Amino acid sequence: MPESIPVLIVAGPTASGKSALALRLAEALDGEVINADSMQVYRELRILTGRPNDEDLARAPHRLYGVLTGAERCSVGRWRALAVEAIVAADESGRLPIVAGGTGLYLKALVEGLAPIPDIPLAFVQDAARRHEALGGAAMHEALAARDPAGAARIPAADKQRLVRAWAVLDATGRPLADWQAETGTPELEPFAFHSILLDPPRDALYAACDARFDGMMAAGALDEVRALEALSLDPELPLMKAVGVPELRRHLAGELPLEAAVAQAKQATRNYAKRQFTWFRHQLHPSATIGAQYSESFDDEIFPNIRQFLLTQEGRTGT
């Protein structure tokens, strides 16, 4: 068995300070920040997806930010393969891999692995997504339960992504996702040792931060970003076209909403997304440490000793 690679995970809902904490850790521990946000992998919307700016990129190495075009689709499996490569590359360069992001399925797949299933044609995924939009989460969940009771029992009605995936797999293959996972067995995992930190601030404070963050994005040129995205004439079903804030600002550009109303709806969408992240992380992540607030450097005395102890437990590692 090869020596395990220590990997830090910084997770939490949007506007909780994940990027700031990851950057602080990278500077202090000679690390590289690896993106685990499903929208920050795309290059067209730097402002609206909250990607690191040039100043941040100059402070520490970053990987998997803006590496795909909006015309591409980044599945969980594709991101995981890229992340594994990035972790190994960071380790080989003598730097500590620090995976930061708020896409829970990405983090779960990295830690627990993915059971392989056949490639699902795009048409089935799009059909499942249209069905969800037409029925809504509760009715879609009920329909799935009628076809795959065991699968539906494991998926909350509010989890659109997993509902759509389960429906598409069932339609495309005629078999529930759990059948494929059972047949392929437990995925083989890389020799990584994980230490995860969850930022879990009070909701009222987080929602206020979400609103302020979106105001900052608008002031920085988010509307112009969406205008440039529109000029590319991309398929509206592509993931990037559904990034938080994009549908609302597109409606404004199309003359369907005043800007003030579009911004208000985008802020609400951001808060709704943060609420879903709250729920997911509290039930799925099982962090090594939890900070019940937005990150600030005042928490460093609480965070760093645990991380250094984790690094000391890894064979051949001494920490910083």
Q: Hey, what amino acid is at 195?
A: H
The mean of the pLDDT values for the chain is 91
pLDDT for the residue numbered 6: 95
Find out if CATH 3.40.50.300 is the number for domain 5-114+188-313.
yes
Stretch among 65-74, 110-119, 311-320 having the lowest mean pLDDT: 311-320
Is the pLDDT at 123 greater than 50, yes or no? Answer: yes
Is the pLDDT at 173 greater than 90, yes or no? Answer: no
Mean pLDDT calculated for residue range 75-98: 94
Is the pLDDT at 50 greater than 80, yes or no? Answer: yes
Cβ(9)–Cβ(112) under 8 Å? Answer: no
Which residues in the chain are classed under CATH 1.10.20.140? 122-184
Q: Hey, what amino acid is at 87?
A: I
The more confident residue out of 189 and 7 is: 7
Is the pLDDT at 317 greater than 60, yes or no? Answer: no
Q: Hey, what amino acid is at 106?
A: Y
Reported pTM:
0.80
Cβ(133)–Cβ(167) under 8 Å? Answer: no
Confidence of residue 2 (pLDDT cuts 50, 70, 90): very low
Cβ(240)–Cβ(234) under 8 Å? Answer: yes
Mean pLDDT calculated for residue range 16-45: 97
Mean pLDDT calculated for residue range 181-203: 82
Task: Using CB atoms within 10 Å of the CB of residue 178, give its burial: 0 to 12 exposed, 13 to 18 middle, 19+ buried.
Answer: middle
Cβ(159)–Cβ(140) under 8 Å? Answer: no
Q: Are strands 62-63 and 96-101 parallel, antiparallel or unpaired?
A: unpaired
Which residues in the chain are classed under CATH 3.40.50.300? 5-114+188-313
pLDDT 10s digits, 218-262: 999 999 999 999 999 999 989 999 999 999 999 999 999 999 999
The more confident residue out of 161 and 170 is: 170
Q: Residues of the chain with pLDDT > 70: what percent?
A: 94
pLDDT for the residue numbered 249: 98
Confidence of residue 183 (pLDDT cuts 50, 70, 90): low
Mean pLDDT calculated for residue range 44-49: 96
Is the pLDDT at 178 greater than 80, yes or no? Answer: no
Is the pLDDT at 319 greater than 60, yes or no? Answer: no
Which strands sit side by side in the sheet containing 5-11, from one edge to the other?
Answer: 62-63, 31-35, 96-101, 5-11, 192-199, 289-291
Assign domain 122-184 to a CATH class. mainly alpha
